[in-house]
Amino acid sequence: EAQVTQNPRYLITVTGKKLTVTCSQNMNHEYMSWYRQDPGLGLRQIYYSMNVEVTDKGDVPEGYKVSRKEKRNFPLILESPSPNQTSLYFCASSPRQGNIQYFGAGTRLSVL
């Protein structure tokens, strides 16, 4: 089954404790992206990747890192999480940029 898989689905952590949210897609898509979703706001892009080893900042990149060592994986790294990063995070992939995106089920992160 074609899908985007995020882990974990729920995470509670404390300020400053490094964490990684994994994202994997099995559709051989070139383009992958991370978004955060906050109440009353649209999805806001954090980082994106056009292909392996090609990543760039989105609209709200501060406090986040990403890597794209393999085509299928695009982890999101929070080196020192802060409470303002409490949010719902989505990973998405598409065959190429500007195409329909397929989203994971989301990761609910709470930073205390």
Partner 1 sequence: GESVGLHLPTLSVQEGDNSIINCAYSNSASDYFIWYKQESGKGPQFIIDIRSNMDKRQGQRVTVLLNKTVKHLSLQIAATQPGDSAVYFCAENINYGQNFVFGPGTRLSVLP
Q: How far is the CB of 78 from partner 1 (least distance, A)?
A: 19
Question: Binding to partner 1 by residue 106, rule CB under 8 A?
Answer: yes
Q: In angstroms, how far is CA 83 from the centroid of its own chain?
A: 17
Residue closer to partner 1 by CB (options 33, 85) is 33
Task: Please work out, in degrees rounded to the nearest 5, the angle formed at the alpha carbon of residue 41 by the alpha carbons of 48 and 63.
Answer: 45
Token reading at 82? 């802060």
How far is it, in rounded angstroms, from Cα 79 to Cα 65? 8
Question: Binding to partner 1 by residue 1, rule CB under 8 A?
Answer: no
Q: Which residues bind partner 1 (CB under 8 A)?
A: 4, 31, 33, 35, 37-45, 48, 50, 56, 58-59, 88, 90, 92, 96-106, 108
